[in-house]
Structure formats: structure tokens, C-alpha cells
Structure 1
Amino acid sequence: MFSGTYTPKVDDKGRLFLPAKFREAMKEGLVITRGQDRALDVRTMSAFADFTEKFRTAQQTNAQLRAYGRMLFALASEQTPDKQGRITLTPELREYAGVDRDVVVLGVYDRLEIWEPDAWQRYTGAQEQAFADLSEEIFPSF
């Protein structure tokens, strides 16, 4: 499980250090793709394989599924972190997420998300009350 919030920097070559806490899980390889809300998703190779298996077995005649697949796979970047634990964000992925030098890396259960810091602030500001309200709906006896 991935959790926590980190703020590494992106260097001039588009590389960032994975937070040390996540390096062991990602050392065999990972896939970076477009995520929701203009963030980037980072999944281990095996988690991405599980995710894409659901896509493969879904009804391919569904126009929404095809459109989602195009957006998901078109910029997907398979990588293995280097010895220092760095990964490279392609220019296309950086543009999609609006990422320059500063980023926020979130552990989100089965994946990491990479956000532009101001976008993350706006998102959390808009979602805090909804988060409080949803806990009662999602976990009624919690």
C-alpha cells in the first residue's frame, strides 16, 4: 500500500527522485500514465498489468472505453528507476499535468499520483468538506 505526501523536485532533464519509501516497490519497473484531474498515475508493472487486464476484458465496442484507453495508453511510459531511484517524466506527461520543477507525490493505496502543487492545493481545498461528508455514505457504520 502506498500512502503519504512528498515534495521532490524535478531536475532539468525531467527526472525526479521517487520518495525512498516507495523505491523498493517500484524497483522492478513502473508505468507512468495520465491520471484523473490532470495528475499523473504511477503504478508498479504488476499493478499496471492487473489494471490493463480489466481494460482488456471489458466490452471493446463501448465508445467511452475506447476513448479512455486512447488517453490512458497514448502517453504511457514504462520505466525502471535508476540506481539513485530517479524516474523520468516525459515532456508530454509534464505538459499534461502542468508540472515544472516542484511536484507533490501522493501515495494513493495502489498507486502514486504526481500533481502540480497549486493544482493539488486547489483540489484539496475544494474536496475537504466533501471528504468529511462522504465518510458517512461510504462507511455508514464507521
Structure 2
Amino acid sequence: MMWDAVTEALGRLYPQSQPWHVSFPPGGADLRAGSVYPADGHWHYVSYGLGSRWGVELTFRLRRGSEVQPPQWPFVLLNRVAGYANGLPERLEEGQWMDVRGPITGFPHTDGADTGLTVLILAVDPQLGERFLQLVGVTAAEANGDADIDDDPLLVTDPSRV
């Protein structure tokens, strides 16, 4: 998927929003860039760089608090998952999950808070479709089926819920 297709898809979803952008140095990261859009009650992050190899990009929705600017740790998370994906022989798919072996927020090494969410489940982004895989943060108990996952149609991750 090309950059223009990603920007167009998010622009249709958030026509009045001004996104924040980050870029990564060539060879210094697994992603080339990322954007985050302010949405109703959450931040909607999207990656740029996986589409040229795998035909999909990653998204992540983070519960929005009172902050004016989006937290930066989800970009670290997206890049980490992109590195994992680039090391695989086949592309990531809906339903796969990965234990990140610590808080998904990167605590204490990022601006993210401590959380019990340590597993990411991949789901098709509910508003963008199959060309976008959304990372959804859950607890190990939820990933193992030992606890119920909240029924949220947008699959927004809320690190403060546990």
C-alpha cells in the first residue's frame, strides 16, 4: 500500500482533523513514518512503511485523556511490531497475537505509564478495513481466554483500565 492510499483513507475518516506526523531516519527504524489523528475519545495512530512489503499498515487506537498532544510511545510500539513483522516469512494476519513481555506502553523507557496490558492482538481496523491491521492491547489473562475482553466496537486500547 502506498503512502497516498494511507493518507487518503485516514483523510476520509477524519476530514476536519489535523494529524501529527513523525518520521524515522532511513535504516534507523523499521517504519518510515507514522501519523496520529485526534478522534472522538481516542487517538488513532497509523504506520507508513509496511505496505510496500506486506500490503497492510498498522493502526492503534489509544484512549484519549486530557492531553492536548498525543503520547509518543505508540510510535515506538508500532515500530517494534513492524520490526517483528519484517522478520517474518509471511505477513501478519488478523487474530495473531504477541506477548511483548512487558507493558505495551514501553514503561519505564518511554513516556507511557505502567500498565498490565502486555499482549497485542491483531484485528482488522473496524473503520479502515482489511488493508489496516489494528493493534489491540490486552492482558495476558484476556489473551489466554481466562478473562473477558471489553466489547468496544472500535477496539480502543485503554492502558489505565488494569
Q: Same fold (TM over 0.5)?
A: no
Answer with 1 or 2: which has the greater Rg. Answer: 1
Higher relative contact order (CA 8 A, sep 6+): 1
TM-score (norm 2): 0.27
TM-score (norm 1): 0.30
